[in-house]
Structures are given as C-alpha cells and as structure tokens.
Amino acid sequence: MMLQKNDSKTAVRHIRNFINSNSHTNIVIVNVPRRYDLMQSSCVNREIKSFNRKLLKYAKAHQHVSILEVSSDRELFTTHGQHLNGLSKDKLGKQLVSLTYKTLHKKRSILQP
C-alpha cells in the first residue's frame, strides 16, 4: 500500500475495520518500512512513522492481531533505498514462519487439557 500524506488516516481506518470484522481469525500485519531514497525528516517518512505507531497501538489491543516489523537497517534495502532487498525478504519470510509456528503452538496448547 503506497502511503501519501492524505491516505494514512484512510488506511488506518480500513485496517481497523478489517481487524474488527475479522475477530474470528488470526491476522498478521507488516508495518510500512521507511524510505531511504528520501531524507529521514521528509513528510513521507514522518507520515510512515506516525502510521506505524497508530497501527502498532491498535494491534496491541487485539489478541488475534500480530505485527511483523520490517527492520530499518539500511543494508536490508536496495541501493536506491526504496525497496526491500532479497536478504530482507528472506528475513521477513523467516519471521512469518516463526510467528505461524508460535501461533499454532499456542492454539494447540490451549486446545489440549
């Protein structure tokens, strides 16, 4: 999802609605990584930071929602800095697998006496 200054409130609202209407299933949300092709102080990066803060705060209030945080290490982005590189995608995939196993293990322990 491409965030623009006026879109973050709409995006948060849509995600909140999705979380609220799908309380019967586990949800994994990946935060928005900062843009290294722009200055840290750019309006886009400030909006991304604000969006991620709101997303994390809302997700913490719901047990069926997990957040995967994309690392902000510069080495995990392409040379131009706008996209994740292969190493970062591998890392994110491993985080998702780990989270899936934890969720399945937790659910299995709840079901067993």
The answer to whether position 47 is within a domain reads yes
Residues spanned by the domain of 77: 27-111
User: What pTM does this model have?
Assistant: 0.77
Look at residue 9 in the predicted model and tell me its pLDDT.
87
pLDDT score recorded for residue 58: 92
Residue-level pLDDT at 49: 92
Q: Is residue 105 part of a domain?
A: yes
- In a domain, residue 34? The reply is yes
Q: Does some domain include residue 17?
A: no
Residue 11 lies in a domain: no
8's CB contacts (< 8 A; 6+ apart) are: 47, 50, 51, 54
The predicted pLDDT at position 74 comes to: 87
Report how far residue 59's alpha carbon sits from residue 69's, in angstroms, rounded to the nearest whole number. 12
Structural domain includes residue 20: no
How high is the pLDDT of residue 30? 92
pLDDT digits 0-9 by tens, 10-49: 899 999 999 999 999 999 999 999 888 888 899 889 999 9
Q: What is the pLDDT of residues 59-89, one digit of tens each?
A: 999 989 998 988 888 888 888 888 888 998 9
Residue 111 in this model has a pLDDT that exceeds 90? no
Q: What is the sign, positive or negative, of the torsion defined by CA atoms of 84, 96, 43, 20?
A: positive
Domain tally, the chain? 1
In a domain, 4, yes or no: no
Which is more confidently placed, 28 or 106?
28
At 49, list the tokens. Answer: 């930071």
Residue 12 lies in a domain: no
pLDDT of residue 38: 87
